[in-house]
Amino acid sequence: MKLRNIAIIAHVDHGKTTLIDVLLKKSGAFRDNQRTEERMMDSNDIERERGITILAKVTSLVWNDTRINIVDTPGHADFGGEVERILHMVDGVVLLVDAAEGPMPQTKFVLGKALKLGLKPIVAINKIDKPEQRADEVLDEVFDLFASLDANEEQLDFPVLYGSAKQEWMSTEPDGPKDSMAPLFDMVLDKVAPPSAEPGAFKMLATTIQSDPFLGRILTGRIVSGTAVPNMPIKALSRDGKQVETGRVSKILAFRGLERQAIEQGEAGDIVSIAGLTKATVADTLCSPEVNEPLTAQPIDPPTLSMTFRVNDSPLAGTEGTKVQSRVIRERLLKEAEGNVALKVEETDEPDAFIVSGRGELLLAILIENMRREGFELGVGRPRVVFQYDKDGNRLEPIEEVIIDVDEEFSGAVVQKLQERKADLLEVRPSGGGRTRLVFTAPTRGLIGYQAELMSDTRGSAIFNRLFHAYEPFRGPIQGRHTGVLLSNAQGEAVAYALFNLEDRGPMMIDPGTKVYAGMIIGEHTRGNDLEVNVLKGKQLTNIRSAGKDDAVKLTTPKRLTLEAALSYIADDELVEVTPESIRLRKAILDPNDRKRAERAANKATA
- The CATH number for 430's domain is 3.30.70.240
In sequence order, what DSSP letters do the residues of 176-217 get, joined into one string? Answer: S--S-SHHHHHHHHHHSPPPP-BSSS-EEEEEEEEEETTTEE
Given a cut of 50, the residues of the chain with pLDDT beneath it are 31, 33, 35-42, 550
Nearest of 363, 239, 299 to residue 113 by alpha carbon: 299
Cβ-proximal residues to 251 (8 Å cutoff; 6+ apart), any chain: 215, 230, 262, 274, 275, 276
170 and 209 inside one domain: no
- What's the pLDDT score for residue 525? 92
Q: What domain count does the chain have?
A: 3
169 and 208 inside one domain: no
229 and 170 inside one domain: no
Residue 394 assigned as binding residue: no
Domain assignment of residue 589, yes or no: no
Residue 4 to residues 62, 96, 466: CA-CA distances in angstroms? Answer: 10, 18, 33
Residue 335 assigned as binding residue: no
The phi and psi torsions of 6 (rounded to 5 degrees) equal -130, 155
- What's the pLDDT score for residue 233? 92
163 and 246 inside one domain: no
Residue 144 assigned as binding residue: no
187 and 241 inside one domain: no
Say which CATH number the domain at 176 has: 3.40.50.300
Say which CATH number the domain at 267 has: 2.40.30.10
- What's the pLDDT score for residue 315? 92
Nearest of 129, 95, 109, 108 to residue 14 by alpha carbon: 95
174 and 215 inside one domain: no
Domain assignment of residue 94, yes or no: yes
180 and 221 inside one domain: no
144 and 207 inside one domain: no
Residue 424 assigned as binding residue: no
Does the global pTM surpass 0.85?
no
Residue 405 to residues 74, 364, 420, 428, 469: CA-CA distances in angstroms? Answer: 21, 25, 19, 10, 19
Residue 191 assigned as binding residue: no
- What's the pLDDT score for residue 89? 83
Domain assignment of residue 118, yes or no: yes
> Which of 455, 473, 491 corresponds to the end of one domain?
473
- What's the pLDDT score for residue 578? 93
90 and 233 inside one domain: no
Nearest of 249, 247, 252, 296 to residue 272 by alpha carbon: 252
Own/partner pairs, 147-152, CB within 8 angstroms, 24+ separation: 149/108, 149/111, 149/112, 149/115, 150/115, 151/115
208 and 163 inside one domain: no
Domain assignment of residue 237, yes or no: yes
Residue 16 assigned as binding residue: yes
Sheet holding 259-262, edge to edge: 243-248, 233-237, 285-287, 203-212, 216-225, 271-275, 251-256, 259-262
Domain assignment of residue 483, yes or no: no
Strands (DSSP E) contained in 64-137 are 66-72, 92-98, 122-126
223 and 137 inside one domain: no
In sequence order, what DSSP letters do the residues of 372-427 get, joined into one string? Answer: HHTTB-EEEEPPEE--EE-TT--EEEEEEEEEEEE-GGGHHHHHHHHHHTT-EEEE
Q: Which domain holds residue 457?
A: 389-473
Residue 18 assigned as binding residue: yes
- What's the pLDDT score for residue 81? 62
> Which of 473, 507, 528 corresponds to the end of one domain?
473
Helix axes 182-191, 16-26, angle to 10 degrees: 100
Domain assignment of residue 268, yes or no: yes
Residue 253 to residues 200, 266, 298: CA-CA distances in angstroms? Answer: 22, 8, 25
Residue 128 assigned as binding residue: yes
Residue 516 to residues 491, 572, 584: CA-CA distances in angstroms? Answer: 5, 21, 9
> Which of 473, 507, 534 corresponds to the end of one domain?
473
What is the distance between the alpha carbons of residues 87 and 275, in angstroms, rounded to a whole number?
Answer: 22
- What's the pLDDT score for residue 602? 81
- What's the pLDDT score for residue 424? 92
Domain assignment of residue 422, yes or no: yes
Domain assignment of residue 349, yes or no: no
What is the distance between the alpha carbons of residues 110 and 292, in angstroms, rounded to a whole number?
Answer: 32
140 and 168 inside one domain: yes
Own/partner pairs, 61-65, CB within 8 angstroms, 24+ separation: 61/23, 61/24, 61/27, 61/28, 61/29, 61/257, 62/1, 62/27, 62/28, 63/27, 63/185, 63/188, 63/189, 64/185, 64/189, 65/1, 65/2
